[in-house]
Structure 1
Amino acid sequence: MTHFKTFIATALATTAIGGTAVAEELRMSWWGGDSRHEATQAALQVCGEKYGHTISPEFTGWSGHFEKVATQLAGGTEADIMQINWPWLPIFSENGDGFADLNDFADIIDLEQWPAPLREASSRNGALNGLPASLSGRIFFFNKTTFDAAGIPVPTTMEELMAAGPVFRDTLGEDYYPLEGTGLDASLLIQMITTQRTGKSLINPETNEVQWTAADIQESLEYYQQMVDNHVLQAWRDKAAAGNVPLHENVNWTQGRIAGSYQWDTTYFKISDPLEEGQELVPSGLLRIEGAMNDGVYRKPSMVFSISANSEHPEAAAQILNCLTTEPEGIAAMASARGVPSAAVAAAQLLDTGAIEQIQVDAQNMVLAAEAPAISPFNEDPDVRAGIEDTLELFAYGELDSAEAAEELLMLVNEALEDK
């Protein structure tokens, strides 16, 4: 009898680990490169050992991952834990029931580690469908060395940036510009200006309807053209004639002749490392136009961790998800494989251990502190993006005037949203 009691006590102690009755077998899927694969597998190992679960990894490259997840979700064969691209949420969970509601696991997952705006951005119909692994947002970066050479400080408002154009031209030369902006960079710059002016984002994330008028868009297009005319931006046509080289490979950037860019905060080292020795690139947050109603920040989760609505072991999956994102073992193993973590405790731990640098945290804090209405995942829809960028290029080349371009852009975005 004594042996039986000892056996029961031992069994209860073992199965009580992490609050689950038995060790579960789970699956986790994600996309990425080798470094992400290695880090995630290491994190799954330590978190699985901590809670007594076994987690089978399922990883691929980016190409084909959407199709794989779509097929699995359609057949109910998806992994228990999934890395999901943020714009996929309305596709796979139109009404919020395509993934588990992580609010139901608030006693297991430390949800307060994510700022409320990020939780809201990852929710559908009130259901928290994912927790952001990391955050991306657009801010300005300026080459302080070039601004010093021009004899002016790094701008803090759009008016100061506008005034810097002629100073660069007259002081440094015709081939010096305080900012660059074509393609997606131009699109998001114009969206920032319009959001600041109207107080609204392009697409209402609740109704999926466009919130700007043609007049709103036209005014921002004319502001963009004024930046070109004032030598703030190199003309789209001139940039294309030079080959549309990526910014970090552009000799005009690396040598400091282009002294600013409106970029994702996560690209700091990508665009700063190629700069020639002695140049200093500083993150400068968001610059406001006169009369702005907010900062107009374009802020989004880069990817989220979701739990399957069909998982047979959702509590165990929640334990592993919490370990990966907020517990020391998981944080250390995952490190910065997905950028600066969105969970506050993870970012603090990685900063303390030197896994990320202060300037990365500073840039992300600028994104988090900026004020603006939430954006819709449909802003990232390929048809929406193409409609905006194609129209802007026609405007930049003078094939459409500002009024025509505004009407065309509005029509194309509305058309892209019709079947969403």
Structure 2
Amino acid sequence: MQRGRPGRFVQGRVTDGSSPVTELVSPQINQSAQQFSTKRWEITVVQNRIGRAVLAAAAAVAVSIAMVGCAPASESEQGEVELRFSWWGTDSRHELTNEALDLFEEKNPGITVVRDFGGFDGYIDKLLTQAAGNNSPDVFQLYEEVLREFASRGQLYDLNEATSQGLSLDGWDQGLLDTSTIDGSLSALQFGLTTQAFIFNTELFDQAGVSIPTEGWSWDDLATAAKKVSDGTDSGTFGVTDLSTGYQVFEVWANQNGESYLTDDGLGFSAGTLEDFWNYWADLRASGAATPGSLTSEYPTPFDAIIASKAASGFIFANQMAAVQSSIEAEIAVDRMPGESPEAGSYLRTAMNIAIGSKTEHPKEAAMLVDFLLNDPEAYAILGIDRGVPANPAVGDAATANVDDITAKGLTVIDGVREDGAAPPVPPKPGAGNVNALFAELAQEVQFDRMSIKDAVASFIERAEQELS
């Protein structure tokens, strides 16, 4: 539905790229499910591209200077304020976001939102290029793995300042605010929250006569159930997707062992903990319970093989249930992550962030837009939980009022983790994106027996510490 004055669109097209947040992509998943991008599984390496960004920005600046004399008066010069808002996503996200922005413009005459959106591929490079040329969007979407990178380069406006310009933080959990505070500056806010979860193809479990695990299940329970499903279903079907390449899964494992994946200081786990994790998945591959390396690489995201009925269970982010369910006929069940430890290991994690560019010429109006997108029930009645569960509980009912049954199952998992009260980690140090990609790379070397687990762990720790130093 069109609302108010239509905003201007800049590069408003969906590319073949996909979106992260908890968000993994696959050619097997339909368009509505493309919000699952490989960023969340094998994260895009973006940390070392500033040089290219500066060169590209220099060319862009030269062109803009040459054109200054012939540029027409902008809407701002005519009394209008123009805000540029950049985000990545799918067709569905673009439609929802544009409808919400139309409502914002209707509520705020005199402000026009220029919408710059597309797929995830190249999104961060584009932001870096724009920042190097002092041409960042006024408001833009980010994800936590690169948040500290942008903050360290002075590209993010302190949202503490925005609280006097139209942004309200009433009702926000202080722990969440602390996780986005870098060197005393509130660098971004959570545009949505989610948590780690496990999904099951109920049809394959029923076929094998195996009960779906329930809350409180262990990693041993997973191994046993997966082996039974592999044995009780057609040849070529496995009980679980091999998740050894997933740093998000290892993150839960490390937490359950009283350690952390990444901390303020760098790596937060011992070599033995990672060895145990990779040995666990090696044992499942050897027993036939988990997908072999060849199949895992053919279906690279944690649920590609589930959608293809090649695996009966795997990892997901809890707010993404509907997208996977829409791609498979069998009913999907969901539960919390396995684990023997009293510590659940999961936590409410940032699906994605929203930030204001430090160079914005309209901080007040930018603060008003961020406030609307995060705190206005009418906005969330449109946006729903596409980007995750709202961080502000006051708008939670509006966002979840019309969810379907499968999405509600995921929300139950999120609610349980929220009740645990586990604090989310601080944004990782610059270089974390490269570390996440390295994790997947070395796990794959182990999958194909090209490297021993002990050697892979040693290599990961050495190279990861270099990235984070």
Question: Please, which of 205, 209, 212 is the counterpart of residue 151 of structure 1?
Answer: 209
Q: Aligned letter for 1:387?
A: L
CA contact (8 A) 2:160 2:185 kept: yes
Q: CA deviation at 1:123?
A: 2.4
CA contact (8 A) 2:318 2:411 kept: no
Matched, 1:275 2:335: no
Partner of 1:409: 460
SS in 2 for 1:407: helix
Name the CA shift for 1:91/1:391 in 2 (closer, same or farther; >3 Å).
Answer: same
SS in 1 for 2:446: helix
Q: Aligned letter for 2:262?
A: I
CA contact (8 A) 2:302 2:316 kept: no
CA contact (8 A) 2:223 2:289 kept: yes
Q: CA deviation at 1:381?
A: 3.9
SS in 2 for 1:111: coil
Question: Which aligned pairs between 1:1-400 and structure 2 lie closer than 5 A?
Answer: 25-32=81-88, 33-61=90-118, 62-94=120-152, 98-106=155-163, 108-155=166-213, 156-172=217-233, 175-182=236-243, 184-185=245-246, 187-197=247-257, 199-204=258-263, 206-207=264-265, 209-240=266-297, 243-244=298-299, 250=305, 253-254=306-307, 256=309, 258-276=311-329, 279-289=330-340, 292=341, 294-297=343-346, 300-336=349-385, 338-354=387-403, 357-366=407-416, 368-369=418-419, 371=422, 374=425, 376-378=427-429, 381-400=432-451
Name the CA shift for 1:245/1:77 in 2 (closer, same or farther; >3 Å).
Answer: closer
SS in 2 for 1:377: coil
| 1: CA distance, partners of 2:444 / 2:304 | 22
After superposition, give the CA deviation of every residue in 1:125-148 in whole Å (9 maximum; x if it has no partner). 232211121234321112234334
Normalising by structure 1, report the TM-score: 0.78
Percent same amino acid among aligned pairs?
Answer: 20
| 2: CA distance, partners of 1:203 / 1:381 | 8
Q: Aligned letter for 1:232?
A: A
| 1: CA distance, partners of 2:383 / 2:424 | 31
SS in 2 for 1:416: helix
After superposition, give the CA deviation of every residue in 1:227-254 in whole Å (9 maximum; x if it has no partner). 32343312224544xx33666654xx34
Q: Which runs of 5+ in 1 are unaligned?
A: 1-22
CA contact (8 A) 1:295 1:372 kept: no
CA contact (8 A) 1:24 1:316 kept: no
SS in 2 for 1:405: helix
After superposition, give the CA deviation of every residue in 1:250-269 in whole Å (9 maximum; x if it has no partner). 4xx34755221112223312
Quick check: which one's helix share is greater?
Answer: 1
Partner of 1:12: none
| 1: CA distance, partners of 2:109 / 2:100 | 14
| 1: CA distance, partners of 2:399 / 2:219 | 34
Query: What is the CA RMSD across the aligned residues, in angstroms?
Result: 3.2
- Which is worse superposed, 62-71 or 138-147? 62-71
Name the CA shift for 1:137/1:99 in 2 (closer, same or farther; >3 Å).
Answer: same
| 2: CA distance, partners of 1:380 / 1:410 | 13
Q: Larger Cα Rg: Structure 1 or Structure 2?
A: 1
| 2: CA distance, partners of 1:201 / 1:128 | 23
Partner of 1:14: none
CA contact (8 A) 1:84 1:305 kept: yes
